[in-house]
Amino acid sequence: MNYRGPYRVRADRNKPMPRIEHSGDAIVRVTRSCICGSDLHLYHGMVPDTRIGTTFGHEFVGVVEEVGPDVTKLKVGDNVLVPFNVACGKCVFCEQQLFGNCHESNPEATAVGGIFGYSHTAGGYDGGQAEYVRVPYADVGPMIIPDDMDHDDAVLLTDVLPTGYQAAEMAGIKPGDTVVVFGAGPIGIMAAKCAWLFGAGRVIVIDHLEYRLEFVKNYAQCEAYNFRSLEDPVLFIKKTTDWIGADVCIDAVGCEAAGSAFHTITGRKMMLQSGSAIALHWAINAVKKGGIVSIVGVYGPTGNIIPIGNVVNKGLTLRANQASVKRLLPRLIEHVQSGRIDPKAIVTHRVPLEEVADAYHIFSAKLDNCIKPILIPPS
Ligand code: NAD
Ligand code: ZN
Residues with beta carbon inside 6 Å of ligand 1? 36-38, 40-41, 159, 163, 182-188, 206-209, 212, 227, 252-254, 263, 278-279, 296-298, 322-323
Quote the pLDDT of residue 345: 98
**Per-residue pLDDT averaged across 155-182, rounded?**
98
Quote the pLDDT of residue 268: 42
User: Domain locations in the chain?
Assistant: 2-159+324-376, 161-320
Report which protein residue has its CA nearest ligand 1's atom 13.
183
Quote the pLDDT of residue 58: 98
In tens, the pLDDT along 215-247 reads 999 999 999 999 999 989 999 999 999 999 999
User: Quick check: 96 pLDDT over 90?
Assistant: yes
Q: Is the domain defined by 161-320 classed in CATH 3.40.50.720?
A: yes
DSSP state, residue 44: T
**Per-residue pLDDT averaged across 171-175, rounded?**
98
What's the pLDDT band for 368 if we cut at 50, 70, 90? Answer: very high
Quote the pLDDT of residue 301: 64
Report which protein residue has its CA nearest ligand 1's atom 4.
185
Which ligand has an atom closest to residue 163 CA?
A: 1
Which phi-psi region, left, alpha or beta, contains residue 52 (left: φ > 0; alpha: ψ -120 to 50)? Answer: beta
User: Quick check: 272 pLDDT over 60?
Assistant: no
Average pLDDT score, the chain:
93
3 state DSSP class of 293: strand
The DSSP line for 218-276 is: HHTT-EEEEGGGSS-HHHHHHHHTTTS-EEEEEE-S-SPPTT--EEEETTEEEE--TT-
356 and 162 Cβ atoms separated by less than 8 Å:
no
ipTM of the complex: 0.99
- In the reported structure, the alpha carbon of residue 185 is separated from the centroid of ligand 1 by a whole-number distance in angstroms of 6
**Per-residue pLDDT averaged across 364-377, rounded?**
97
- In the reported structure, the alpha carbon of residue 57 is separated from the centroid of ligand 2 by a whole-number distance in angstroms of 8
Burial group, residue 5, by CB count within 10 angstroms (0-12, 13-18, 19+): exposed
**What is the longest distance spanned by two Cα atoms in the chain?**
62
Q: Is the domain defined by 2-159+324-376 classed in CATH 3.40.640.10?
A: no
Hey, how many other C-beta atoms are within 10 angstroms of the C-beta on 238? 17
